[in-house]
Amino acid sequence: MHVGVIGGGVAGLTAAYRLAQAGEQVTLWERSNHLGGQAVSFPVAHGRLEYFYHHLFQSDTDITALIHELGLGDELQWLPSDVGYFADGRIQPLNGALDLLKLDVVPFHDRVRIGLVTAYLQRVRDWKKFESVTAEAWLTRAMGERAYKATFGAQLDAKFGRYAGDIAMVWFWGKIWLRTTSRRSPLEGEKLGYPMGSFGSVTDALASAARTAGATIHTGLGPEEIRSNAAGGLTLSFGDGNADVQVDRLIVTTPSPIFARLAPELSDAYRAKITSLTYEAAVVALLEMDRPLSSTYWMNIADPSLPFTAVIEHTNFVGPEHYGGRHYVYLSKYLETDHPYFTKDADELIAEYTTYLNRINPAFDASWITNSWVFRERAAQPIITLNYSERLPGHRTPIPNLYLANTSQIYPEDRGTNYSVRLGNQITAMVVDDARSGVPWGSGDQR
Ligand SMILES: Cc1cc2nc3c(=O)[nH]c(=O)nc-3n(C[C@H](O)[C@H](O)[C@H](O)COP(=O)(O)OP(=O)(O)OC[C@H]3O[C@@H](n4cnc5c(N)ncnc54)[C@H](O)[C@@H]3O)c2cc1C
């Protein structure tokens, strides 16, 4: 069986590797010139770094197992994380229950309520009950409006903008749960994982293992159209004088709006289902500096007058000695694609952002910056609304032998490289099982 895979991010690469291991003929096409998708890395001083800040939680067992399987176990380090909260012109540490009790952005009894709600959420396993209530409604009821608005509400606004009030409680529960499992005890600090050669070393090793197992991987090329053919497979058209390619089965890992455009034969019902699920976009500025901005790794910005909503100082997690003494700071903002920052000229965006950095460190001077980049992603964060499980599109599409496996189908956990590995493993098992059991075309899950 010849299986095609569209997209060379973590999900597509994992699927290509597993399919090749299963003895199938595999061809993967990645439209951009590099592999890695949202987890892509690029060269910086003495090393490589992600376009978008990345780390792993200790609950990320699928990718951890894969990293070990690829022989990179020694590269994966579990390092202490350091979280801060910027409000009222100050950075306050937020590394556990004791820091929360000292967080003076709300009165003491509100902090106790926030602590109790967090402790409750850390213990709940039955997420189903959080499917039909918004995070805003549930958290406001549980901790009171003032505490909600000053803390979790501000974070939801920062991440989801105009959609903040629509986010289901199950998404918020997932976030708390993931962080809980990254601590061994409530009083012990959190440890996060990082492959020391960057996530690029993982996707490189994955691509190389897939090729060694027999997969063919193309970059800089992606289909413009996918249609079913008389032989019962799929025909991929690439345009620009490239020959059409026929495959027996095809896995698409691109975001849903791209898939909807690529496959004109999708039924109206399936198309409506996948296009009704939306994503937040992200714009991330990365600054290289000759000295640190702060001593915090992950700083949530709870001051709406700042134009970015998190400052992630990577070199306060993985030390500057790994990057020739340079310091790297991401300034992150999730937004909608019609927000002016999404299309703003990179130099103008950097110039605007840097005027705010002495709010975080009064000594900051623009001369500290030795290099800068701006990265953008349209499908950065699926928006998880009420009763999402009923809205999830199936992996088997109405077109025979055509499968969809993308981040909008990760649930109830939040998207992340771990779940793209899981998706790649699961979709391979489904395709191989369908082929072996001769599942008739179009009889699959077409929700
Ligand atoms: C700002 C930000 C921070 C993040 N932080 C973390 C983190 O700390 N930890 C973590 O685990 N995860 C993090 N993630 C999420 C993680 O990177 C993604 O969930 C994961 O990489 C998605 O992988 P994927 O393969 O499912 O999808 P993608 O990475 O989106 O891959 C899809 C691929 O399809 C390609 N493609 C599109 N159209 C075509 C076409 N026509 N033909 C061929 N190819 C095409 C794209 O170029 C892309 O490479 C973060 C993401 C963002 C945006």
Specify the CATH number for the domain of residue 101: 1.10.3110
Closest Cα to residue 307, out of 335, 281, 270? 335
- The per-residue pLDDT for 264 is 97
Rg (CA), the chain: 22
Indicate if the pLDDT at residue 445 is higher than 60. no
Q: Tell me the one-letter amino acid at 360.
A: I
Indicate if the pLDDT at residue 358 is higher than 70. yes
What whole-number distance in Å separates Cα of residue 228 and Cα of residue 234?
Answer: 4
Choose which residue among 332, 417, 422, 423 to substitute to test ligand 1 binding: the one with the highest number of ligand atoms within 8 A of its C-beta. Answer: 417
- The per-residue pLDDT for 446 is 47
How confident is the model over 88-101, as a mean pLDDT?
A: 85
Of the pLDDT bands very low, low, confident and very high (cuts 50, 70, 90), residue 106 is confident
Q: Is the peptide bond before 223 cis (omega within 30 degrees of 0)?
A: no
Whether residues 397 and 253 fall in one domain: yes
H or E element that contains 199: helix 199-212
Residue after which a domain boundary falls, among 382, 404, 428: 382
Whether residues 103 and 179 fall in one domain: yes
Residue 349 belongs to domain spanning: 280-382
Whether residues 176 and 127 fall in one domain: yes
Indicate if the pLDDT at residue 443 is higher than 50. no
Domain count, the chain: 3
Please indicate, yes or no, if residue 415 is contained in any of the structural domains.
yes
Whether residues 269 and 316 fall in one domain: no
Q: What percent of the chain has pLDDT over 70?
A: 96
Pocket of ligand 1 (CB under 6 A): 6-12, 29-32, 37-39, 52-56, 222-223, 253-254, 258, 262, 282, 284, 377, 380, 406-407, 415-418, 420
How confident is the model over 164-186, as a mean pLDDT?
A: 82
Please indicate, yes or no, if residue 406 is contained in any of the structural domains.
yes
- The per-residue pLDDT for 181 is 67
E-strand spans in 51-179? 76-80, 83-87, 90-93
CATH code, domain carrying 363: 3.90.660.20
Q: State the chain's mean pLDDT as an integer.
A: 93
Provide φ and ψ at 144, rounded to 5°.
Answer: 90, 150
Residue after which a domain boundary falls, among 122, 157, 189: 189
Whether residues 247 and 370 fall in one domain: no
Which residue, by CA, sits nearest to atom 18 of ligand 1? 416
How confident is the model over 117-136, as a mean pLDDT?
A: 92
Indicate if the pLDDT at residue 213 is higher than 60. yes
Closest Cα to residue 210, out of 35, 65, 55? 35
Q: 370 C-alpha to center of ligand 1: Å?
A: 28
Indicate if the pLDDT at residue 260 is higher than 90. yes
Q: What percent of the chain has pLDDT over 90?
A: 82
- The per-residue pLDDT for 447 is 40
Q: Which carries the bigger pLDDT value, residue 330 or residue 174?
A: 330
List CB contacts of 126: < 8 A, sequence separation 6 or more.
Answer: none
Whether residues 375 and 393 fall in one domain: no
Of the pLDDT bands very low, low, confident and very high (cuts 50, 70, 90), residue 45 is confident
Q: pTM of the full predicted structure?
A: 0.95
Name the token pair of 243: 């020959």
Whether residues 213 and 329 fall in one domain: no
Please indicate, yes or no, if residue 444 is contained in any of the structural domains.
no
Whether residues 274 and 292 fall in one domain: no
